[in-house]
Amino acid sequence: MPSENTSKPGALVIDPQANMAALVADMLRNLGRRDIREAWDGNQAQHELRRRAYEVIIIDDALTGPDAVELVRRLRADATSPNRLTPIIMMAAAPDAARIAAARDAGVTEFLRKPFAAAHLKSRLDAIAGQPRPFIDATTYAGPDRRRRVQEIGTPDRRGHEPGEG
């Protein structure tokens, strides 16, 4: 069996159900991705995330020890992590709006609702590659820019008065 090349960034799939991690890994392989690693618990995931850089991380919301949102938050806050800036796709079977917001606020890049098809995964990967969002490093947030739309705000001086008026 040939060994996988670990010099190029790959994908890390983190799911507490090994069969689901394998299914997502197979989807990635069918999409042409190589060098896919799997982790089934928080400790194993943290080890993998410290070990090397990845091109994308796909994490299930049901992860425990630590919780998936907490793991993302820690990863984004760790300035020494090789995966601090890595795009993260979170998948969940039945997320509510509060959980999606918590994931976004922790630094998740994209979200996928289970069950999903390979085409859905591909669309998230394409969005990450085609429209990368800048990384924001502020006192209360570290992660991809949460704004998705670019809005025209009008003139540079938004207060509406003429220059020279006071």
Q: Is residue 71 part of a domain?
A: yes
Torsion of CA 103, 106, 108, 113, to 10 degrees: -10
Query: In the prediction, which pLDDT does 147 show?
Result: 80
Instruction: Give a yes or no: residue 133 inside a domain.
Output: yes
pLDDT score for 52: 95
Q: Does residue 99 belong to any structural domain of this protein?
A: yes
For residue 80, the enclosing domain spans 10-144
Residue 26 lies inside a defined structural domain of this protein: yes
Q: Which of 99, 16, 97, 106 is nearest to 62 (CA)?
A: 16
Which pLDDT belongs to residue 1? Answer: 35
Alpha helix ranges (H) inside the chain? 18-30, 42-51, 68-77, 97-106, 118-130
Q: In one letter, which amino acid is 134?
A: P
161 found inside a domain: no
Both tokens of 15, joined, read 């799911």
Q: Give the separation between CA 73 and CA 75, rounded to whole angstroms.
A: 5
Counted domains in the chain:
1
Q: What is the CATH number of the domain that holds 72?
A: 3.40.50.2300
- How many Å from the N-terminal Cα to the C-terminal Cα in the chain? 75
What pLDDT does 166 receive? 52
Distance in angstroms (rounded) separating the CA atoms of residues 29 and 155? 48
pLDDT in tens, the chain (166 residues): 334 444 457 999 999 999 999 999 999 999 999 999 999 999 999 999 999 999 999 999 999 989 999 999 999 999 999 999 999 999 999 899 999 999 999 999 999 999 999 999 999 999 999 999 999 999 999 999 988 655 565 655 555 555 555 5
Instruction: Flag whether 2 is in a domain.
Output: no
CA distance 65 to 44: 10
Tokens for 159?
Answer: 């207060």
Does 166 reside within a domain? no
53, 87 in Cβ contact below 8 A? no
